[in-house]
Amino acid sequence: MNIKAAIIDHEMASLSEREIFACSQEQKEDIYRRALAHPEIQGTVLLNTCNRTELYLSVKDEITGPDPFAFLCESLDEEARDFASVAKVVAGDDALSHLCLLTSGAASQLLGDSQIITQVSDALSEAQEMDLTDGALNTMFRLGVTAGKKVRTDINLQIKDTSTVDLAVRVVEETDGVKSILVIGNGTIGRLVAECLVKKGYSVSMTLRQYHNKEAIIPAGVLTVPYGDRYRKMEESDAVISTTASPHVVITKKEFVQMAHYPKLLIDMAVPRDIDPEISEIEGVACYNIDELSGGSLKMLKPEQREQLQEYIGAYVAELHRWEEQRMKKEEDIKRLTSPERDRGERRYFPLFIDSMDRLAVVIGGGNIAERRILTLAEFGFRIRVISGTLSETLQRLMEAGLIEWQQGYIQTGEKASASNCVDLSEAAQGAWMLLACTNDRETNRAIGQFGRENQLLINVCDARNESTFWFPAVGLSDELTMGLVGTGKDHMNVKKAAAVLRDVIEKKEYK
C-alpha cells in the first residue's frame, strides 16, 4: 500500500500560514483534476477544515510517486521550499496512525473536536463521488473513521463532546449584553451556530446571497438578511459570527469603521479569515479568530491515556496490514490465473460442501478403505448401501444401528461375471447419488468408475484418481468447523500428516 499524506495543521502552521493552503471549491476541483491526470496517482482525498489542510495520495510507487506537499503547492501556485517548515509528509502506517488520532479528536486544535469525524467522512465521500479514490484509500479512511468512533466510545480520554461551534456559543454566553446576533454565512457551520443560539434564546439573523436563496436551508427561528446588507445589520447587532468559505475578507476595516454602531463581539470562524484582523485594534470591540477560540492538545492527555490510545491505533494498523496482504494475494492469484503458461487442468477438483442428508451413497467393497470412508460418510447423514462379500465387525455394528444397509455379493467383471454371488451393478447403484469403488480388484474398480461416469454419478475410484469425478477428502470435525483436505496424489503421507495437525487445531479450538 503506497499512501502518502501532506499535513498542514495548527501544530506547525500559524493561522496566516494555514490561510494560504485553505482551498476554495474551485481550487479543490483543480487539485482533483490534476490528480486524475497524473499517471502515478491512483487515488486522492483532500481534507480542508479551519485548522488543517491534508492531501492524501495513493500512488503506484512510493519512491517514484509524487510528493503530496509538492503536488499541493504546485496546484496552488506556491513554492514548496518556502513552506517546508509548516508541513509534514507521512506515509503508510504513519498516515493511518495520524488519521486515527485525528478522528478520535486527539490531534485537533480543540481536544475532542466532535465535528472532525464528519469532516473526514465528508472529504472521503466528496472524493468518492468524483471517482477519485481507490481501494487503499477507501480502506484506510474506513478504518480511520471506525477507530475514531471506537476511541470515543471505549476509552476515557476525558474529552467532552464539543466543537468550535460550542466554543463560539460559549464566548457569546460569556459576553455581557449580547442579545442580537448576526451570522454571516449559510454553510454547515453557520447553520449549526445559528441553531444553537436560537435554542439558547438569542435573536439570530443570517445572511443569504441572492443567487443562493433557492437552495438555502434556514434553521427554525432564524431571520434572513441579504448578504449585501450585512454592514447595516451589523449596526443593529450585539455580536457577529462569520463562517463563510470566501477566499477574501468579507468584513473590511474600511467599511466597518464607517458604521454608526459597532457590535461588541466579533467571532471569525473561517479560514481564510472573513474579518479584517486590523478591526481587533478598535477599542470596545472584542475579536476572536479560530485559533483564539480553540485550545487543547494531545499533550494534555495522561500517559496511560496516550498508551491506551496507541494500542487501539496499533490494532487498526494491523487490520490495514491484513487487508494489504489479502490484496497482494489477490493480485498474485490474478497474475497466476491469467498467465499464458498456466495449465488450466492443474487444479480441476473444486472443494465443494453440499447438503448430504438422506442422499444415497453406494460403497462397493468391504475392506479397510471402504470402512474408513463409510465411517466418514456416516457423519454427514448419508444413506449408505454397502456391496461386499463380508462385513467387518465395525460395519456390522453400523448395520445393526441402522446406519448402513448391506447387500451381500460382489460386483464382478469379465470371466468372473457368472459367479453365483455376483451383484448386478446397475441394480446395486439404483437411486445412487454417489458411487465409491473400494475393492481390491483393479478391473472391477475400473468398470465401476466407467459405469458411474456414463450415468453421471459422483464417482470415486480408490486406486485411480484419473477415473474419479471427485476426490475423497481427509475430514476433520468440531462442533463449529468442518474441514476437507486433499493432496495432489503424489504423497498420501503428507496429506495424512497435515490432516492430523489440522484436526488437532480445530478440535482444541487453537484458532481462537
Catalytic residue numbers read 50
Cα–Cα dist 391/200, whole Å: 89
Cα–Cα dist 3/43, whole Å: 9
Is the separation of the CB atoms in 436 and 466 below 8 Å? Answer: no
Cβ neighbours, 10 Å, residue 113: 27
Residue 302 class from Cβ within 10 Å (0-12 exposed, 13-18 middle, 19+ buried)?
Answer: exposed
| 323's grid cell | 487487508
Cα–Cα dist 459/450, whole Å: 9
Cα–Cα dist 37/445, whole Å: 65
DSSP state, 62?
Answer: T
Cα–Cα dist 99/293, whole Å: 23
Cα–Cα dist 265/163, whole Å: 19
Amino acid (1-letter code) at residue 115: Q
Q: Where would I find the H helices in 284-392? A: 290-293, 303-337, 368-378
Torsions phi, psi for 301 (to 5 deg)? -75, 150
Cα–Cα dist 412/448, whole Å: 10
Cα–Cα dist 199/389, whole Å: 91
Q: Smallest Cα–Cα separation from 227: which of 208, 213, 214, 240? A: 208
DSSP track, 371-433: HHHHHHHHTTT-EEEEEES---HHHHHHHHTTSEEEEESB---GGGGG-TTB--HHHHTTT-S
- Please list the helix, strand and coil fractions of the chain in percent, rounded to the nearest 5, in that order: 45, 20, 35
Half-sphere exposure of 339 (CA within 13 A, CB side): 11
List the 88-91 sheet strands across, edge first.
Answer: 41-48, 52-59, 3-9, 88-91
Whats the size of the chain, residue-wise?
A: 512
Q: Smallest Cα–Cα separation from 379: which of 484, 501, 493, 496? A: 484
Kind and range of the H or E element at 277?
Answer: none
| 353's grid cell | 460442501
Is the separation of the CB atoms in 411 and 444 below 8 Å? Answer: yes
Angle at 384 between CA 380 and CA 386, to 5 degrees: 140
